[in-house]
Structure 1
Amino acid sequence: MTFDAKKHSRSVPLMCPTCGGTEFEHAEDVTASDASVRCARCGLELTKDELIRANQENLSMHAKEVAEGAAKDLTQELRDTLRRAFSGSKNIRIK
């Protein structure tokens, strides 16, 4: 088994803090942190940074889930690697 980073990537939809909508209208250049976005559902207009701050709890929850899953997979991969490396050794046991 080799660690698959793609397994742990995910897309987290940002939600409007007013109505919970996930579709936003924006200008062509939304790369700037002060770029303005407008909720397609209720019309609330805010900056990209404000939208991210409003969704911080949801983003943090997803980041924690990804970190826990990655740590679990990496631990298992390390354990498997050590077992293979020391297989046949009578003096070393990997649990």
Structure 2
Amino acid sequence: MDDLSVQVALTCPTCGCTEFAYETPASGQDFTDDWAFTCAHCGRTFTRAELIEANAESIDMTVSDMGDDIVDELAKDLKKALKKQGWKIK
């Protein structure tokens, strides 16, 4: 199956800006839920968890939209596998 990953741009719930200042995690470290992000436009600071919660609707819509793509890719993979086994698939 092809890579079906996507990125959802998080927006500031105050002003709608998509640019944030933050400290980059050290090598081998991941962002934590309490990691601070500051909006580049209005200067408001949020935790990672707060930004994700504020953008939950956009994230959910993206995941929902991906559902069809995932099903389509799985169907293609299944057809290929069945054809390899000698099945006649239309």
TM-score normalised to structure 1 length: 0.75
Pairwise CA RMSD = 2.0
2:50 alignment counterpart: 50
Supply the AA of the counterpart residue of 2:49.
D
CA distance in structure 2 between the partners assigned to 1:83 and 1:35 by the alignment: 49
1:24-63 matches, within 5 Å, as: 24-29=20-25, 31-63=31-63
1:58 Cα shift? Answer: 0.6
1:65 alignment counterpart: 65
Aligned residue-pair number: 86
Task: Note the residue ranges of structure 1 that are not aligned, 5 or more in a row.
Answer: 88-92
Q: Runs of at least 4 residues of structure 1 off by over 6 A?
A: none
Task: Percent identity, please.
Answer: 35
CA distance in structure 2 between the partners assigned to 1:28 and 1:85 by the alignment: 49
1:86 Cα shift? Answer: 2.6
CA distance in structure 1 between the partners assigned to 2:24 and 2:77 by the alignment: 43
Higher relative contact order structure (alpha carbons within 8 Å, sequence separation ≥ 6): 2
2:2 is the counterpart of 1:4: yes
CA distance in structure 2 between the partners assigned to 1:15 and 1:52 by the alignment: 9
Supply the AA of the counterpart residue of 1:47.
T
1:20 Cα shift? Answer: 0.9
CA distance in structure 2 between the partners assigned to 1:81 and 1:28 by the alignment: 43
CA distance in structure 1 between the partners assigned to 2:59 and 2:75 by the alignment: 24
Match of 1:18 among 5, 14, 21: 14
1:28 Cα shift? Answer: 4.0
